[in-house]
Amino acid sequence: MRKHGLNEFEEIKVRGFGLPKILKFKNYSEDQLCILARYVGENLRIGDSILFNGPVGVGKTFFISCLIKKQLSDMGKEDFVTSPTFNLVQIYDDLPNPIWHVDLYRLKKSSELIEIGLEQAFHEAICLVEWPDLLDKCITHRAVTVSLSFSLEDSGKRDIKLSVPTKNMNNQKFDTFLDKVICYVDTNR
């Protein structure tokens, strides 16, 4: 267990073919969550996907909003980032690496995923997916998973579990992604 300011994070090294590496962050404030999201976003590339799990109101959309706002800010743009709960997908295709923000909360069948073009987006963009339960295992096994929960110690703070697979949808290795996140946490204590 490493200390990060007033917070802790735990690196769980999982050895073996195709198994994800896991980082756990404890008691993150809203500001710290946003800083982590922006940093994670800086290390994404086309073909990378992040699946977001957690209860309603825990901060999935907030995390994504921080990540996208940073990308837009780097281009000198400001935009209001909202949850695509009603329209299912919000596409930011004017970024150097296009981002699809997808909210699958209202979908009932996996066949509905074809209608929104999500399968192709996994290869041609960065996909940030809330409520990913309907996705096929071949997609979920090649995506970063961010699981957010309310902290047991302070309901105003969040616990985060970041699971990183060995390869992304374009079969590129996530060779340095996790190391960069660990380095970020270690240097920003």
Of the pLDDT bands very low, low, confident and very high (cuts 50, 70, 90), residue 64 is: very high
pLDDT in tens, 101-112: 999 998 888 877
CB-based contact 159:24 (threshold 8 Å)? yes
pLDDT over threshold 90, residue 50? yes
What pLDDT score does 168 carry? 65
What pLDDT score does 173 carry? 62
* Phi, psi dihedrals of residue 94, rounded to the nearest 5°: -90, 5
What pLDDT score does 5 carry? 42
- Paired residues of 167 in beta bridges: 173
Mean pLDDT: which of 55-59, 93-97, 137-141 is highest?
55-59
Distances (CA, A) of 108 to 16, 53, 78, 104: 34, 17, 34, 9
pTM of full prediction above 0.75: yes
Helices (H), 17-88: 30-42, 60-74
What pLDDT score does 100 carry? 95
Rounded to an integer, the average pLDDT of 139-168 is 88
pLDDT in tens, 131-143: 998 888 777 888 8
Cα dihedral: 149, 34, 56, 97 (round 10): -120
Cβ density class 117-142: b for 16+ within 10 Å, e for less: ebeebbeebbbbbbbbebbeeebeeb
Whole-angstrom distance, CA of residue 137 vs CA of residue 122: 13
* Phi, psi dihedrals of residue 52, rounded to the nearest 5°: -110, 125
Lowest mean pLDDT among 8-17, 68-77, 179-188: 8-17
pLDDT over threshold 70, residue 161? yes
Three-class HEC string of 146-178:
EEEEECCCCCCCEEEEEEECCECCCCCECCCHH
